């Protein structure tokens, strides 16, 4: 089996030349400016970074890569760097970005770009043993997040999780089996000089060494693969989409999971992609065209209460609810989230998650499957939501996630729920629960005969298990 190798080389220091003269400190100054903007937390760090680069078109590709990596290194290790930056001189943003650059390109490469005093300071910092730092500096987590995680992890495990979140995520791809096998995708990457291998668990996953521009490859343009974290791919396998079924991706976004489900269905049946954002659904359409799928139907809804949803009540085989969440499972990719999210924002999210799950459940037909998922690592968004739902929806039962994956020959056992962790599984942090709607008993004499044979008492099930007879029309485009 081919394996993705570890990236051991560091990018060389990027500088700018004007009229043949090397401009010292240009890269550091630009990185400092960007970091100061990002730390205002007026929006997502990746969006702020993209806008900054658009406004500074003279920055080269190599320079942009180094600057972005340095800024995100500061976001990942903000507590640690802030503690170290209590010494030194210059603005706080200047000291922080120097630490980010030192991690990104190395101290020796950075020295020519800074003053002698700064070079001396960096040398002193490099000699500090990280283990000697305060615990809060080592975990690099806000206190409120650390407390919630400490309630479910022993100190050693929590330290391992925190350490894993301080590094960038690997680049994972999903082979689009409508157009190519995983082996063909690996061959195309090898032909392009890109080192890659199979993901450990996802059967169609590919893990790439480093961060090469795979979106420029012909194989990508031809729809052979999509960029998708292995954890997200495993989540789609929990849905277990089959040919000819009716399936709803309730919070489809730009459609990464939608496309994976469509491929599992072999472009048969009907797959609805619901979302409240027209902009996100617009991003799905070109990806859908490239994928070769013809069974996907994007549907713009105004909320989880949209009348379009009611028309499908009780008719859907499988529903995926990838609920809007804090995103704290994606901190390797979006480290700014741990500084932008607050307990108050979490309190606003959880009622919305419960409402979305309850309304999506109405779509599921008796015997059908409902999968609730988040990319969060907090119990309040995960187990607590599912337990509250089951307490008020007696027509649903929990199906162990491990058994669902085992049926698909995926050797992963995390118990009743799919619980993925960066320090254990090498994926983003994911949670998912598989819920099955209890089949309504037969009516009349057959029901009585069945009850007598099983020696059980028939209980009237809630109306919600009965398909809505109002309208057989299922096209809500």
Task: State which CATH number among 3.30.1490.190, 3.50.30.60, 3.30.70.1170, 3.30.300.30 fits the domain covering 171-227.
Answer: 3.30.70.1170
Q: Is 322 part of any known ligand binding site?
A: yes
Please give the pLDDT value at position 21. Answer: 30
Q: How far is CA 136 from the centre of its chain?
A: 25
List the pLDDT tens digit at each of the 477 positions of the chain. 454 433 333 333 444 443 333 334 688 999 999 999 999 999 999 999 999 999 999 998 889 999 999 999 999 999 999 999 999 988 999 999 999 999 999 999 999 999 999 999 999 999 999 999 999 899 999 999 999 999 999 999 999 999 999 999 999 999 999 999 999 999 999 999 999 999 999 999 999 999 999 999 999 999 999 999 999 999 999 999 999 999 999 999 999 999 999 999 999 999 999 999 999 999 999 999 999 999 999 999 999 999 999 999 999 999 999 999 999 999 999 999 999 999 999 999 999 999 999 999 999 999 999 999 999 999 999 999 999 999 999 999 999 999 999 999 999 999 999 999 999 999 999 999 999 999 765 554 344 333 333 332 222 222 222 222 223 322 333
Helices (H), 56-141: 61-76, 78-84, 92-105, 107-110, 116-126, 135-139
What backbone torsions phi and psi does residue 43 show, to the nearest 5 degrees? -175, 180
Q: Is 336 part of any known ligand binding site?
A: no
Q: CATH number of the domain at 21-139, please?
A: 1.10.940
Residues carrying CATH 3.30.70.1170, the chain: 171-227
**pTM as predicted:** 0.85
- Domain 230-437: CATH superfamily is Vaccinia Virus protein VP39 (3.40.50.150)
Please give the pLDDT value at position 61. Answer: 87
CA 377, CA 418: separation in Å to the nearest integer? 12
Of the listed 236, 251, 325, 375, which one is catalytic?
A: 375
Residue 237 structure tokens? 């396998």
Angle at 245 between CA 242 and CA 247, to 5 degrees: 100
Residues carrying CATH 1.10.940, the chain: 21-139
At 216 the three-state DSSP class reads helix
Q: Is 428 part of any known ligand binding site?
A: no
Please give the pLDDT value at position 26. Answer: 82
Catalytic site includes residue 251: no
């Amino acid at each position: 089996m081919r394996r993705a190798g570890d990236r051991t080389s560091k990018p060389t220091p990027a500088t700018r030349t004007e009229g043949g003269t090397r401009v010292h400190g240009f890269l550091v100054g630009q990185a400092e400016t960007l970091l100061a903007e990002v730390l205002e937390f007026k929006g997502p760090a990746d969006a702020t970074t993209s806008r900054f680069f658009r406004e500074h078109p003279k920055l080269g590709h190599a320079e942009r890569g180094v600057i972005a990596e340095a800024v995100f290194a500061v976001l990942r290790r903000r507590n640690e760097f802030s503690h170290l930056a209590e010494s030194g001189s210059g603005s706080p943003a200047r000291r922080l970005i120097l630490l980010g650059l030192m991690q990104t390109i190395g101290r020796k490469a950075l020295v020519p770009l800074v003053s002698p005093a700064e070079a001396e300071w960096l040398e002193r910092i490099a000699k500090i043993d990280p283990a000697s730092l305060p615990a809060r500096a080592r975990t690099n987590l806000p206190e409120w997040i650390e407390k919630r995680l400490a309630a479910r992890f022993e100190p050693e495990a929590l330290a391992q999780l925190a350490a894993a979140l301080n590094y960038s995520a690997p680049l994972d791809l999903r082979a689009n089996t409508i157009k190519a096998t995983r082996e063909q995708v690996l061959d195309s990457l090898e032909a392009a000089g890109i080192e890659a291998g199979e993901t450990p668990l996802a059967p169609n996953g590919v893990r790439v060494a480093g961060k090469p521009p795979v979106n420029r490859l012909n194989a990508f343009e031809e729809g052979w693969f999509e960029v998708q974290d292995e954890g997200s791919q495993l989540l789609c396998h929990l849905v277990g989409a089959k040919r000819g079924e009716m399936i709803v991706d309730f919070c489809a976004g730009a459609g990464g999971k939608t496309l994976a489900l469509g491929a599992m269905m072999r472009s048969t049946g009907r797959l609805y992609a619901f979302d409240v954002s027209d902009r996100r659904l617009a991003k799905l359409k070109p990806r859908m065209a490239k994928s070769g799928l013809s069974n996907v139907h994007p549907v713009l809804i105004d909320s989880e209460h949209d009348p379009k949803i009611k028309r499908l009540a009780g008719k859907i085989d499988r529903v995926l609810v990838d609920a809007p969440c804090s995103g704290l499972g994606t901190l390797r990719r979006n480290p700014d989230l741990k500084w932008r999210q607050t307990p108050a924002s979490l309190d606003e999210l959880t009622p919305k998650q419960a409402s979305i799950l309850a309304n999506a459940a109405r779509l599921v037909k008796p015997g059908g499957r409902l999968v609730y998922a988040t990319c969060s690592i907090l119990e309040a968004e995960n187990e607590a939501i599912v337990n509250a739902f089951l307490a008020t929806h007696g027509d649903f039962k929990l199906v162990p996630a491990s058994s669902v994956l085992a049926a698909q020959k995926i050797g992963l056992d995390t118990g009743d729920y799919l619980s993925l962790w960066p320090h254990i599984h090498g994926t983003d942090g994911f949670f998912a629960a598989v819920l099955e709607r209890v089949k309504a008993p037969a009516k009349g004499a057959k029901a009585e005969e069945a009850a007598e044979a099983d020696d059980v008492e028939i209980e009237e099930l809630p109306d919600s298990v009965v398909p809505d007879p109002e309208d057989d029309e299922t096209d809500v485009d």
